């Protein structure tokens, strides 16, 4: 059977999700869920209203009711889902504007692959529940989301914060939240008209202009979201992007049990008391948080989950938690204590159709011991590498780390050699 879902829901170029596709996907979800009400929100993409309305018509036709949340961040949909049981976010997250997609939620978080497969089966077989006529209403969950975060974070009075909302859904909540925490807030790229002032993924390359704004201004810290604000990065007061793994480690500092992924740096092991590693993807992180009753979980992509708030990745909560740490003096104190080992993350183009074959060939080529928790991970005395096909883009990812630059260079060279041989 064909696959609809990748690592983080469905993301496709707009031409691949015409209205009929969206209607049938809505029918599949409405036919699958046992919940009476489905919550739905969308990010700021200009294609959002048509994609959303088509999907809603499909859900309504199965007899399910729909609560429309409007333009909201993905974690706000999670907040509503905790009440209704089923939620949908219309978003392609950090993908370019010519993409859109869907993220499916249940009360325990993003749908697991086994649950997604059931939705796919209904979709492809068109085994829809027909003849229903559900109702549609609109509700605001932004305030409830803000209250959930304010109940768990400390004040940040006087902390001077710059927030870059990327023209995305974070514009609807993060500046307001930080203001209520007592921060002195400056906001850039807070438009919600579907025009993205920069590439949405909060990478170092895409943060150059934001870092320059920080350097020219007077800020204690800055944060930047992706399109749907389930992720955030931090920029220090000198306008330098805080490394993803260091930001993850700051938030995990001194906690009893934290969950992270196989591609995370070994620096988190230096600061957390017990580290549980799992597959890449917030659904797996959330699952391990529940299994281990963990205090925190996150990925070095800027996806952070705070169980004291809810079990969904939340870039807004991450900004609030970090701002509070700055206010208490702990953020930079912790950051100064975190070791930074040489690390690299590479994306090697690989057509989706070739990923499985490439992975199989890699297992035949590599003559060292490796693990297969997620992709292929090779550990040496002073370095490690992870070769893993992307679940959302036509790439193979290489993530590698060494205790010295020489250690890193050696294992990266081997990783490229193995991957090149496997792709030929």
CA distance 392 to 95: 9
Domain boundaries, the chain: 10-141, 148-337, 343-423
Active site residue 93: yes
From the list 347, 338, 342, 353, the residue with the least C-alpha distance to 301 is 347
From the list 247, 288, 224, the residue with the least C-alpha distance to 94 is 224
From the list 172, 377, 348, 136, the residue with the least C-alpha distance to 263 is 377
Same fold, 10-141 and 343-423: no
Q: Which CATH class is domain 148-337?
A: alpha beta
CATH fold group of domain 343-423: TATA-Binding Protein (3.30.310)
From the list 102, 136, 151, the residue with the least C-alpha distance to 317 is 151
Element (H, E) at 408: helix 405-423
Question: Left, alpha or beta for 229 (phi > 0: left; psi -120 to 50: alpha)?
Answer: left
CA distance 229 to 103: 13
From the list 153, 162, 160, the residue with the least C-alpha distance to 184 is 160
From the list 50, 30, 47, 46, the residue with the least C-alpha distance to 38 is 30
Specify the CATH number of the domain 10-141.
3.40.120.10
What pLDDT is attached to residue 1?
A: 54
Q: Long-range contacts made by residues 50-53, C-beta under 8 angstroms, separation at least 24? A: 50/19, 51/17, 51/22, 51/90, 51/100, 52/90
Residues 18, 22, 27, 32, CA torsion sign: positive
Catalytic residue among 93, 246, 301, 415: 93
Tell me the whole-structure pTM to 2 decimals.
0.90
CB 163 within 8 Å of CB 223: yes
Q: What pLDDT tens digit does each residue of the chain (424 aa) get? A: 568 998 778 999 999 999 999 999 999 999 999 999 999 999 999 999 999 999 999 999 999 999 999 999 999 999 999 999 999 999 999 899 999 999 999 988 889 889 999 999 999 999 999 888 999 999 999 999 999 999 999 999 999 999 999 999 999 999 999 999 999 999 999 999 999 999 999 999 999 999 999 999 999 999 999 999 999 999 999 999 999 999 999 999 999 999 999 999 999 999 999 999 999 888 899 999 999 999 999 999 899 999 999 999 999 999 999 999 999 999 999 999 999 999 998 999 999 999 999 999 999 999 999 989 899 999 898 999 999 998 778 999 999 999 999 999 999 999 999 999 999 8
What pLDDT is attached to residue 209?
A: 96
């Amino acid at each position: 059977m064909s696959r609809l879902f990748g690592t983080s829901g469905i993301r496709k170029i707009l031409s691949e999700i015409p209205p009929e596709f969206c209607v049938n996907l809505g029918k599949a979800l409405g036919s699958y869920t046992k919940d009476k009400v489905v919550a739905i929100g969308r990010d700021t993409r200009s294609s959002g209203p048509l994609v959303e309305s088509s999907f809603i018509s499909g859900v309504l036709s199965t007899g399910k009711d729909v609560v429309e949340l409007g333009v909201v961040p993905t974690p706000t949909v999670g907040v509503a889902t905790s009440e209704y049981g089923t939620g949908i976010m219309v978003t392609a997250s950090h993908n370019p504007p010519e993409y859109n997609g869907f993220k499916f939620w249940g009360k325990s978080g993003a749908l697991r692959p086994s649950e997604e497969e059931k939705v796919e089966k209904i979709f492809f077989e068109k085994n829809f529940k027909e003849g229903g006529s559900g109702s549609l209403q609109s509700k605001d969950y932004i305030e409830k989301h803000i209250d959930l975060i304010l109940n768990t974070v400390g004040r940040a009075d006087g902390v001077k914060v710059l927030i870059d909302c990327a023209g995305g859904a974070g514009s609807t909540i993060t500046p307001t939240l930080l203001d209520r925490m007592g921060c002195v807030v400056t906001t850039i790229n807070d438009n919600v008209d579907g025009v993205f002032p920069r590439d949405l993924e909060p990478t170092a390359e895409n943060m150059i202009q934001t870092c320059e704004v920080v350097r020219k201004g007077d800020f204690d810290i800055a944060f930047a979201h992706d399109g749907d604000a389930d992720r955030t990065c931090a920029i220090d007061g000198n306008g330098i992007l805080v490394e993803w793994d260091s930001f993850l480690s700051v938030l995990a500092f001194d906690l009893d049990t934290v969950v992270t992924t196989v591609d995370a740096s070994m620096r988190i092991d230096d600061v957390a008391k017990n580290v549980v590693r799992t597959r890449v993807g917030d659904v797996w992180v959330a699952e391990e948080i529940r299994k281990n009753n963990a205090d925190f979980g996150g990925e070095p992509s800027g996806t952070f989950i705070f169980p004291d708030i809810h079990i969904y990745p939340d870039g807004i909560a991450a900004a609030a938690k970090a701002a509070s740490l700055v206010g208490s003096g702990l953020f930079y104190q912790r950051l100064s204590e975190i070791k930074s080992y040489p690390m690299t993350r590479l994306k090697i183009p690989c057509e989706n159709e070739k990923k499985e074959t490439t992975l199989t060939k890699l297992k035949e080529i590599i003559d060292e011991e490796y693990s297969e928790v997620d992709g292929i991970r090779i550990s040496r005395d002073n370095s490690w590498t992870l070769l893993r096909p992307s679940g959302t883009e036509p790439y193979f990812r290489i993530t590698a780390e060494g205790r010295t630059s020489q250690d890193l260079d050696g294992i990266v060279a081997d990783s490229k050699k193995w991957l090149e041989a496997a792709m030929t």
